Structure 1
Amino acid sequence: MTHVGMAMFMLFASSISCLTGWAISRFGIFGVPPAVPMSNLLNYIGIVLLIFGSAIYPFIKINVFRAVKVVDPHVKVLPMSVLSRTPEEAEKNSKKEDIDMNNSVMKVAAWIGTILVGLSLGVMTTPVTLLMTRHDIYPLSTEIKSSVSFHFSFFTGVMLISIVIFVLYCLVRKGRPSIPPKIVLPSMLSGVFFALAMSCFFIANEKLSPTISYPICMMAPGLVTSAWSVFYFKEISGRRNLLLLGAAYIFTLMGVLTITVSRIVEF
């Protein structure tokens, strides 16, 4: 988010996850039974629109430093190399370093990381889809009729991986993790929101098929995030950037709408 921006990170990662989830379901990748829509033509047109809209995002200029200053005018933006140090080391060296938003290497690495996040989100529900649909591989799953039955195992996996990552982080920090007290409760609350949203996501996959639900469920968070970025954090500003964002919005929303219609309209 430091080099891509909150809105661009979420929008681009959502676009990649949309395409990944759609491709897995549409073509039966990883053994998932292919879900063919009523209209292949509309489905493909929607994907083209989605790709075209997503291709606009990297050309939108963001200002992370300005976004942080809006939240707290007294805060100083520091690079990760400083944040990973002890408080004493960070204070000692903070005056010598600052974020270099023009660092092309870091920007490329940030965009690659964003793509990897999108790919990971795109395959997130594939194991549950396999368990529910491939009874030839998992015969015991024939007794399970709803995706809700898999929620406990899914969230248990999320919790275990989170604990492992946090333990590794504490080891790297030599037992001195950097955890601002004021973010603890908001983090827990966001976890509750995530759990509710993922439960609805599983149900949407079950009722609509991932071919339709992925584009809708993955793009909506990006649109909400970018609204915060524009209207509150002022991360995106300027006539050119706002016009590009608006064009990307239009193509993306048209793509999602066309993909949704392709399930029920034969054309």
Structure 2
Amino acid sequence: MNSWTAETNATTSNGTGLAIGFTSSMISVLLFGSNFVPVKQFDTGDGMFFQWILCASIWLVSLVVNIILQCPRFWPLAMVGGCIWATGNITVVPIVKTIGLGLGLLLWASTNLITGWTSSRFGMFGIDPEEVAKPYLNYIGAGLSVLSAVIFLFVESDIKRDAPALESAPLLRDNVINSDSVSSDESWVDKLSPTWRRIIGCSLAVVAGIFYGSCFVPVLYIKDHAKRNESMYTGASQFDLDYVFAHFSGIFLTSTVYFLIYCTVMKNHPKIYPEAILPGFVSGVLWGIGNCCWFLANHYLSAVISFPIIAAGPGFIAAMWGVLVFKEIKGLRNYVILCLAFCIILTGSLCTAFSKL
């Protein structure tokens, strides 16, 4: 184990390791920015069934990876990260319904970046802090990321309420609301005023970003404590991809629990839209591969570098889908704001990345 770790660390320090890390980051950016596109034009009911299909597909990706890696040791704590991610992910459908794919992803990606960077840079939640060669660049990058998140709030998206789109309902609802909604195909989102749609969508996107930015903490915790002789995790693998199966199992288990609770609340009459099954499966495969690449990027670049790149980059891809294909973002004012935000977040990401190089 020690010799393998030493060899891996040596690879990380050379050009090959950096090439693998940055290539993995670029693949993650592309897939995370596009993974919801296959299902965007399909009605997914209230979204809970779509989430379960998505997470089942994600778990199958991890199963393949686990077999390829010859079934490394399963650490249950790594499942907690998957539980955190799945909890944040139940907000995605109403986010896309209220403020659109482009703006929604930009907001939760920015919050994701800030949360992930803070935890890895300062060692929150019991993980070791990441040291950087140029702290001032690191702080500038974090500050620009916060600024970009604020600027994104001024982008106005145009979501057509009569078009087929992703929709969702709260996991738990009171009897009055539930009795009305079961008999109608109209979701709770469709009943909101434009102002409340924007407020709720932006708020949920921030919450989702916080959960997304925290999901790697359990794996980083295991890796850090594996280096300590007195820890129960002593000797655990330093290769991040070895934790993918446990992490993704947490995602699938949590989504299954939420779906069963939802079915109970709906009195065993969940809204299931069969046309969303294949698109949801494809979406899950894209996300699963993208997240596996993120695990690789964490290994070869470290989380303090991979987070600014991967958390910020998908916003550009998603916004291009929103502008060029779905026509959610229109008008010169919005284009100018988007360009400004992209420039700021790109500068912030580069500052954060180069702060350790």
Task: Provide the C-alpha distance between the structure 2 equivalents of 1:246 and 1:27, rounded to a whole number of angstroms.
Answer: 31
Hey, what's the Cα distance between the residues in 1 that align with 2:150 and 2:193? 21
Deviations 1:212-267 (A, max 9, x none): 11111111222211111111111000010111011111111111111111111xxx
> Structure 1 residue 84: deviation in Å?
7.7
Q: Which of 233, 246, 254 is 1:161 aligned to?
A: 254
Q: 1:195 to 1:99 in 2, by over 3 A?
A: same
Q: Report the secondary structure of 1:3's partner residue.
A: helix
Q: Partners in 2 of 1:16 and 1:123 — Cα distance?
A: 11
Are residues 84 and 187 of structure 1, via their aligned partners in 2, closer, same or farther at CA, if it must alter by over 3 Å?
farther
Query: Post-superposition shift, 1:179?
Result: 2.0
Question: Contact between 1:82 and 1:90, CA under 8 Å: does it hold in 2?
Answer: no
Aligned counterparts of 2:194 and 2:271: Cα–Cα separation in 1: 27
Alignment: residue pair count: 251
Amino acid at match of 1:208: L
State the 1:185 CA deviation.
0.8
Provide the identity percentage: 29
Instruction: Name the CA distance, whole Å, in 1 between partners of 2:300 and 2:147.
Output: 28
- More deviation in 170-179 or 134-143? 134-143
2:201 aligns with: 110
Q: Output the TM-score relative to the length of structure 2.
A: 0.65
- Segments of structure 1 that go 5 or more residues without pairing to the other structure are 70-74
Structure 1: 4+ residue segments shifted above 6 A: 76-79, 81-84
Q: How does 1:131-146 map to 2 (within 5 A)?
A: 131-135=222-226, 136=228, 138-146=231-239
**Which residue in 2 is equivalent to 1:50?**
145
Q: For the residues of structure 2 that align with 1:34 and 1:76, how far apart are their CA atoms?
A: 42
Matched, 1:221 2:314: yes
Counterpart among 208, 212, 217 of residue 126 in structure 1: 217
Please say if residues 222 and 236 of structure 2, whose CA atoms lie closer than 8 Å, have aligned partners that are also in contact. Answer: no
2:270 equivalent among 177, 180, 189: 177
1:72 maps to none
The whole-number CA distance in structure 1 between the counterparts of 2:180 and 2:255 is 19
Counterpart residue number, 2:123: 28
The CA deviation at 1:101 is 4.1
> Contact 1:42/1:259 (CA < 8 Å) preserved in 2?
yes
**In the alignment, is residue 90 of structure 1 matched against residue 184 of structure 2?**
yes
Tell me the residue number matched to 1:197.
Answer: 290
CA separation of 1:77/1:211 partners in 2, compared to 1, >3 Å: closer, same or farther? closer
Q: Using the alignment, how far apart are the partners of 1:143 and 1:44 within structure 2?
A: 32
User: Any idea what the Cα deviations from partners look like across 1:188-226, whole Å, max 9, x if unmatched?
Assistant: 111112221111111211221111111111112222111
How many Å apart are 1:5 and its aligned residue?
2.2
How far apart in 2 are the matches of 1:7 and 1:143?
Answer: 39
8 Å contact kept, 1:131–1:138: no
Corresponding position of 2:356? 263
Report the alpha carbon displacement of residue 110 of structure 1 after superposing the two structures with TM: 2.8
**Which amino acid letter does the alignment assign opposite residue 205 of structure 2?**
T
1:162 & 1:65 partners in 2: Cα distance? 29
User: 1:241 aligns to what?
Assistant: 334
Q: Write the distance in 1 (CA, Å) between the matches of 2:304 and 2:352.
A: 8
Larger mean Cα displacement after TM superposition, 21-30 or 184-193: 184-193
Q: Which residue of structure 1 lines up, in the alignment, with residue 244 of structure 2?
A: 151
Q: Take 1:239 and 1:65, find their aligned partners in 2: how far apart are those partners?
A: 19
**1:206-217 superposed matches below 5 A:** 206-217=299-310
2:225 and 2:233 in contact (8 A); partners too: no
Alignment CA distance shift 1:200-1:232 (3 Å) = same
The question of 1:16 aligning with 2:108 is answered: no
SS state of the match for residue 272, structure 2?
coil
Distance 1:201 1:142, change over 3 A: same
Equivalent-residue separation in structure 2 for 1:61 and 1:143 (angstroms): 47
Aligned equivalents of 1:131, 1:59: Cα separation in 2: 40
Query: Could you tell me which of 314, 323, 336 is aligned with 1:230?
Result: 323
> Structure 1 residue 35: deviation in Å?
0.6
More contact order relative to length (CA 8 Å, sep ≥ 6): 1
